[in-house]
Structure 1
Amino acid sequence: MSFIKLTIKGISYSQTQTGAYALVLSEIGGARTLPIIIGAFEAQSIAIALEKEIRPPRPLTHDLFKTFSERFSINVKEVIIHKLVDGVFFSSLVCEKDGVEEVIDTRTSDAIAIAVRFEAPIYTYKNILDKAGVYLKIEEEFGLSNTDMREENTSDTKELETFEEENKFSNLSITSLNEHLNKAVSDENYELAARIRDEISKRS
């Protein structure tokens, strides 16, 4: 069976499962996407790895895995989403040490969090994408950019709070924004850090 290479299109709060996120993968050179429901911790871990400017004060579990692997000269070559059963995706890490390859079963969310850190490619089989892939205009359906991870606001109060917070940031200097960014990272408030980073990026 032929492989299809995937890339991370974005992460959005799931509207169907409370406390879960939708990780959207898209095929390279095609129009189909593969939405996968993942947990909040894994969504945060993937988002942090994508946000190069944000560095947690303490290593996350997937960061620890990368450090451990590098210390013992183990490289993650690729991730393969190889099976779909009852809506659940099964994946494998293809690892290499001293020229010897090993295939390790893993949850798809963990596999992708690790793949991002190793800059390893993500693949799936054509029959899986044919079965589960959907045609979507991602930006319109999810409102995603490549590194988005924003929970959809479900109340007027929360929308007002977000507007006021973003408006507050727009009045701050770059120096003040960087100070707020460092504090947000130190407090491990990565969603706030991402919003501050967006404001800094807009002024670059």
Structure 2
Amino acid sequence: MDGIIFADPYNLWKISNIMGFSEDAGMIQMEVVGVAPEPNSNKPLVWLRDEEQTVFLPISIGNFEATAIYMELYDEPPPRPICYDLVRTVLGQVNAKVERIVISDLKDDTFYAQIIFKQGSSEFEVDSRPSDAIALALRVAAPIFASDAVLDEAGLEVEGEEIPLGLEEDMELFEAAAEAELVVQEEPESVVTLQKQLEAAVSQEDYEKAAKLRDKIGRMDAE
């Protein structure tokens, strides 16, 4: 028996024992197809596929990371630099680069990844969530790899389709949501940020705004 057959949401997929993808250390290079909501939970998924376009790898991610990936894929920069843009700038300043990222493992439904950096003749790796690694890789044009072990367990082989049926429509739904600002496009507000806004409101004698900010800070402190 090759694998388990699923019907919905994207046609008939077969989760197969996918072997022999790469002769190079059990890795296969992947590319980012796009971001789409998972049909049942509406939680974002980033979709990767191999260069042969025969195997897809969906990874569940957060709203902020999904939007960060979407913005880079479709060349829609945020109003202000976000964390991945900052890392790209820092790498340039210290003459370092991202050599590659590797989605290396899947344990208890959680994916694990590493970012491999290179500075001069030195190379080192840092553990990362796949979503963060992918968002950074897109910004620095670094190659993305997945291990055979991950693809064996979570890879989706689509028979007779260049892209899973229904995925393109769901990607369009995510695009519409992002453009309508239904997906978070900025880092979550912190108490420090709100405190600065409170101080500014008081200095401008905008006491109504200051009161609202004070109440919001109080609620966050109580959580």
SS at match of 1:129: helix
The corresponding residue for 2:71 is 48
Q: TM-score, normalised by structure 2?
A: 0.63
Question: Which amino acid is 2:123 matched to?
Answer: E
More helix by share: 1
User: Are 1:37 and 2:25 an aligned pair?
Assistant: no
Larger Rg: 2
Given that residues 26 and 147 in structure 2 are in contact (C-alpha distance below 8 angstroms), is that contact kept between their aligned partners in structure 1?
yes
Q: 1:142 aligned to 167, 173, 198, which one?
A: 167
Q: How large is the RMSD of aligned CA atoms in angstroms?
A: 2.3
Instruction: State the Cα distance separating 1:127 from its structure 2 match.
Output: 2.3
CA distance in 1, matches of 2:166, 2:147: 25
Runs of 4+ in 1 over 6 A off after TM superposition: none
The corresponding residue for 1:191 is 179
Task: Please show how residues 74-93 of structure 1 align to structure 2 within 5 Å.
Answer: 74-93=96-115
CA distance in 1, matches of 2:172, 2:71: 10
CA distance in 2, matches of 1:149, 1:92: 30
CA distance in 2, matches of 1:149, 1:76: 30
CA distance in 1, matches of 2:106, 2:26: 16
User: Are 1:11 and 2:55 an aligned pair?
Assistant: no
Question: Which amino acid is 1:112 matched to?
Answer: I
Task: Please show how residues 114-153 of structure 1 align to structure 2 within 5 Å.
Answer: 114-136=136-158, 137=161, 138-143=163-168, 148=171, 150-151=173-174
Question: Which amino acid is 1:10 matched to?
Answer: G
Q: TM-score, normalised by structure 1?
A: 0.69
Instruction: State the Cα distance separating 1:15 from its structure 2 match.
Output: 2.1
SS at match of 1:57: coil
Question: Which amino acid is 2:55 matched to?
Answer: R
SS at match of 1:84: strand
- Paired residues, what number? 154
Give 5+ residue unaligned stretches, structure 1. 153-161, 163-188, 194-204
The corresponding residue for 1:69 is 91
Give 5+ residue unaligned stretches, structure 2. 1-24, 182-223
